[in-house]
Structure 1
Amino acid sequence: MRKLIVSTFLTLDGVMQAPGGPEEDDSGGFAHGGWSVTYWDDRMGEVMGAAMSVPFDLVLGRKTYDIFAAYWPHASEEQGAKPLNDATKHVASRSRPTLEWRNSVLIDGDAAEGIAALKQQDGPELQVHGSGDLVQTLLRHGLIDEYRLWVFPLVIGSGKRLFADGTVPAALRLVDSQVSTTGVVMGTYEPAGEIVTGSFALE
């Protein structure tokens, strides 16, 4: 059984759209692309490097795949480029695109069924980066084993959110946390079953 891990950059109000630049995704008139860039520090690089140092495959939606495929095969950053280029990329798409980035494989048929089958195979962990639409599918089908959420200290007010309308209510357990010098909270969470409610009202 392979673990599926969602790694996402978020604003404090939950927006995950276009953290790396205006050209990533301006759908819906989104005007704040690149909001994560000025917060990067050495500590964040170390945490990201550790995540990339273990064997992994990628699971990507089509838009994120296209963004990655346009950049990483030509990138000079050895720490990030080599593991991403070497990883097998499993791509969810409603069309049948030509996947030119090496080690790229199209997920045939229904994305949720295909990814559930991938999880049953032997192999390295499955990392999902970005891929906001695909993540909504993974959430609905309970396929996520771990969340690595980097919450940046800013609010945007509009844009695509990780936990969008239709998210199934669920509890999470914090298993690790670190903070960058720029105030980015890097938390690792695991599913913890159903929400347990209570009351502070006096008897």
Structure 2
Amino acid sequence: MRFGMRKIIVLTFVSLDGVMQAPGGPEEDPSGGFKYGGWMVNYGDEFLMQEMMNQMSRPYEALLGRKTYEIFASYWPHANPDEEPLAGIINRSKKYVVSKTLQNPSWENTIVINGDVVAEIKRLKNMDGPELQVSGSSNLIQTLLKHDLIDEFWLKIFPVTLGTGKRLFGEGTLPAAFTLQKCEVSQKGVIIASYVRDGELKTGSFAR
């Protein structure tokens, strides 16, 4: 199967005030003294899980930062596919991890990117293959944003504010326009929204 030039898609849990740090637990990423790890856990339900399954059951390869990769690598290879349906999918998928320090990763199907990161990611986009999904990886996302390399955002927006923490759209984000492709809401108030890159930002004025 030929895929053609492929998209980079960011899948992210994010608070109302734009924070994406440590949604799954206190130990996930306490850097910077972040005290609210696990802020999305009480909002999980079958609807949200099914949506994640739908998104990650497509043909894809993962593009990850080192911290997120290490969190995934400590869990998914040991998960039971009968109990965790995503385990088999994630373990079989090719995984590109951006890191200057990681060597000889033991998780199957892992390729380390440690040179010119932007040039290598552009090369990956131009290779034949399935879409590249980015989960977590806040530092990597900032690099992708600065170089306008993200084609779609698949966001899960939770009804909480955190006031501090690593934000999805940090300093250096380029002005850009997006089109809302899909939007649903879970019974617990989580907005699941998909945005597709749609050209340059256009401004105007209501003044006459």
Q: Structure 1 length normalisation: TM-score? A: 0.96
* 1:127 and 2:133 correspond: yes
Task: Give the Cα separation in 2 of the matches to 1:16 and 1:79.
Answer: 24
Quote the sequence identity (%): 54
> In the TM superposition, what is the alpha-carbon distance from 1:5 to its structure 2 partner?
0.5
Per the alignment, residue 74 of structure 2 pairs with: 70
> In the TM superposition, what is the alpha-carbon distance from 1:125 to its structure 2 partner?
1.1
> In the TM superposition, what is the alpha-carbon distance from 1:78 to its structure 2 partner?
3.4
- How well do the aligned residues superpose, as a CA RMSD in angstroms? 1.0
Structure 2 letter corresponding to 1:114: E
Structure 2 letter corresponding to 1:193: G
Which of 42, 45, 59 is equivalent to 1:41?
A: 45
Task: Give the Cα separation in 1 of the matches to 2:89 and 2:102.
Answer: 25
Cα-to-partner distance string for 1:37-95 (whole Å, 9 max, x where unaligned): 11011111111111121111100000000000001111123311111011011010122
Contact 2:22 2:38 (8 Å CA) reproduced: yes
> In the TM superposition, what is the alpha-carbon distance from 1:98 to its structure 2 partner?
2.9
Per the alignment, residue 180 of structure 1 pairs with: 186
Per the alignment, residue 147 of structure 2 pairs with: 141
* 1:8 and 2:3 correspond: no
Task: Give the Cα separation in 1 of the matches to 2:116 and 2:154.
Answer: 25
Task: Give the Cα separation in 1 of the matches to 2:184 and 2:114.
Answer: 38
Structure 2: which 5+ runs fail to align? none
Which of 27, 31, 47 is equivalent to 1:27?
A: 31
Please show how residues 41-120 of structure 1 align to structure 2 within 5 Å: 41-76=45-80, 77-120=83-126
Per the alignment, residue 197 of structure 1 pairs with: 203
Task: Give the Cα separation in 2 of the matches to 1:108 and 1:133.
Answer: 14
Task: Give the Cα separation in 1 of the matches to 2:155 and 2:74.
Answer: 24
Aligned residues: 202
Cα-to-partner distance string for 1:113-134 (whole Å, 9 max, x where unaligned): 1111111111111100000000
Which of 148, 163, 166 is equivalent to 2:169?
A: 163
Structure 1 letter corresponding to 2:168: L
Structure 1: which 5+ runs fail to align? none
